[in-house]
Chain A
Amino acid sequence: MTVTSDLGNEWQLTPPLSTRLRGMFGATVKAAKRDIVLGVSISLLLLGLFLAVFGPTLARTDYERTDPVNRMLPPSAEHWFGTDNWGRDVFDRTIVGTRLSFLVGFSVTLISTVIGVAIALVISYFRILDAIMMRFVDGFLAFPTILLALALISLIGPSIGNVIIALSITATAGKIRLVRGAVLSLRESTYVEAARAVGVPVPRILMLHVLPNIVSIIIVQATFTLASAILAEASLSFLGAGVPEYVPSWGNIIATGQGYIQVGFHISFFPGLFLTVTVLAVVLIGDSIRDHLDPKLRGRLKTTTH
Chain B
Amino acid sequence: MSYSPAATDNSVPILKVRELKVHFPVKRGLIFQRTVGVVKAVDGVDIEIKHGETLGLVGESGSGKTTLGRAVLRLNDTSGGSISYSGQDVLALRGGEMRRLRKNIGMVFQDPYGSLNPRMTVGNIVAEPMLVHKIFDNKLAIRNRVMELFDTVGLNRSMASRYPHEFSGGQRQRVGIARALASGPNILICDEPVSALDVSIQAQIISLFDRLKLEQQLTYLFIAHDLSVVRHVSDVVAVMYLGKIVEQGNADDIYRSPQHPYTQALLSAVPIPDPAVERKRSRTVLKGDIPSPLNPPSGCVFSPRCPIAEDRCFVEAPMSRTLSDGRRAACHKV
Contacts and interface: CB of A to CB of B under 8 A. Distances in A.
A1 B166 contact: yes
Contacts of B179: 194, 198
A196 interface: yes
A10 B150 CA distance: 14
A299 B119 contact: no
A195 B133 CA distance: 12
B102 A197 contact: yes
A134 to B, nearest CB: 13
A6 B161 contact: yes
A199 B166 contact: no
A303 interface: no
Given A199-B132, A295-B118, A13 B124 contact: yes
The contact size tier of chain A is 20 to 34
B17 interface: no
Interface string A1-28: 1100110011111100000000000000
B167 A1 contact: yes
B132 A200 contact: yes
Interface stretch (B42-50, B55-63, B106-114, B252-260): B106-114
Interface in A289-306: 295-296, 299
The contact size tier of chain B is 35 or more
A261 interface: no
A208 interface: yes
A198 B118 contact: no
A5 B102 contact: no
A199 B121 CA distance: 19
Interface in B102-147: 102-103, 106-107, 109, 111, 114-121, 123-124, 127-129, 131-133, 139, 142-143, 146
Interface stretch (A48-56, A71-79, A185-193, A234-242): A185-193
Given A194-B176, A199-B183, A1 B102 contact: no
A11 B121 contact: yes
A199 to B, nearest CB: 3
A177 interface: no
B109 A199 contact: no
B73 interface: yes
A198 B129 contact: yes
B118 A296 contact: yes
Contacts of B159: 6
Contacts of B24: none
B117 A191 contact: yes
B165 A295 contact: yes
Interface string B65-97: 000000001010000000000000000000000
B28 interface: no
Contacts of B163: 295
Interface of B: 73, 75, 98-103, 106-107, 109, 111, 114-121, 123-124, 127-129, 131-133, 139, 142-143, 146, 158-161, 163, 165-168, 171, 176, 179-180, 182-183
25 contacts: A1-B171, A2-B166, A11-B143, A12-B143, A12-B161, A190-B111, A193-B115, A194-B115, A195-B117, A196-B75, A196-B102, A197-B73, A197-B102, A197-B107, A198-B106, A198-B182, A199-B100, A200-B132, A208-B117, A208-B120, A209-B120, A212-B117, A295-B163, A295-B165, A296-B165
Interface of A: 1-2, 5-6, 9-14, 189-191, 193-201, 204, 208-209, 212-213, 295-296, 299
Report the 6 A-B pairs with minimum CB-CB distance, sorted nearest first: A199-B102, A11-B160, A190-B114, A11-B161, A11-B123, A212-B119
